[in-house]
Amino acid sequence: MSAVDRTDWCSTLSARDEPLPGSATEVGGWVLLEHHGPWGRDVFDGVAFDPELSAALEAAVDAAGVRLLLIRPPGRIDPADAGHRLLLAPSSPTHTWLEQTTLDRPADLLDLDLSALRGPAPGIGDPAGGPVTLVCTHGRRDRCCAVDGRPVAAALDAAGLPVWECSHTGGHRFAAVSITVPTGYNYGRLAPDEAVAAARGLADGRVPLEGLRGRSCYDAHGQAAEVAVRRAEAKAGREYGPGAVRVGEAALEPAGEDRAEQVHATAVRVDGGPDYTVRTVIDPLAARPVSCGADPKPVHPVRVLTVTTS
């Protein structure tokens, strides 16, 4: 085994930053519903939709193992535009597709088989191409997302890149944050020009590393493992598209006498490249606010211990 890298960094932030808590969690698929009305602090808190519909929508997406985000186009919205465009995208690396349709009303979402997001394109809507960038601008959840996210969304729109503002994605401490569908790559702490560069790179079939926080189909250890391998390969002058780096299940190593933390060993395979093992641990940090104005809370970032090839 040969050691490749021992950089300490969190699974969900750029290497230029201190280790911080990750919150880009494993997601089975994305249900993106256009909604021009008010957004509450939470999608299902009864503000965007009445309490009964909110509860039914929450139960439907939970049962399907997918995530509902509200979306709206950047900039001013015409009050007469009452459309409910719907985008559907899985998170699985083995199924990468994006479909779009239009609903007459949000309640029509309950008539769809959302579990289909875990397989091949079901034909619920028409192929929507992609990639499409979602930028969190959910000011009621965290005002930093609105302050930092809206200029990013505006820059992407001005550059002619497909973009929607969206509700809370997680990781608001890293505002401005974005998710690109259908591949599900998360980015954080992006300036507008960096967001444009990331979106253009993904449109070209690359995975830019600046601000990369991981892929939404993986848990925190898998996200850390993939980004660590991509960084190691980039140092060797090699770059790969979204489907060329595949992350396996993490195996738990027993705690040793010299280490009390539980170590996760994740296998990562690179098409045309070496196989990797990435060892990670969760490092508790001192309490700190995880969003603007929030009370401090303990945080638990994932840290990469070693990246080795076989």
Q: What is the DSSP string of 41-92?
A: SSTTSSSSS-HHHHHHHHHHHHHHT-EEEEEE-SS---TT---EEEEEEE--
Instruction: Look at residue 181 and give its three-state secondary structure.
Output: strand
Instruction: Look at residue 298 and give its three-state secondary structure.
Output: strand
- Least-confidence region, from 118-122, 138-142, 199-203: 138-142
pLDDT computed for residue 82 by the predictor: 65
pLDDT computed for residue 4 by the predictor: 36
pTM: 0.86
Of residues 13 and 113, the one with the higher pLDDT is 113
Q: pLDDT-derived band of residue 295, with 50, 70 and 90 as boundaries?
A: confident
Q: What is the DSSP letter of 130?
A: S
Q: What tokens were used for 160?
A: 């002619």
Average pLDDT, stretch 13-34? 55
- Least-confidence region, from 43-47, 71-75, 174-178, 253-257: 253-257
Domain boundaries, the chain: 2-15+219-309, 29-203
pLDDT above 70: residue 2: no
pLDDT above 70: residue 202: yes
Distance CA 189, CA 134 (A): 14
Q: pLDDT-derived band of residue 204, with 50, 70 and 90 as boundaries?
A: very high
Distance CA 187, CA 185 (A): 7
pLDDT computed for residue 124 by the predictor: 93
Cβ atoms 194, 174 nearer than 8 A: no
Distance CA 160, CA 232 (A): 32
Q: Which helix (H) or strand (E) holds 230?
A: helix 220-235
- Residue 192's nearest CA partner among 132, 150, 137, 143 is 150
pLDDT above 60: residue 21: no
Q: pLDDT-derived band of residue 23, with 50, 70 and 90 as boundaries?
A: very low
Distance CA 242, CA 184 (A): 9
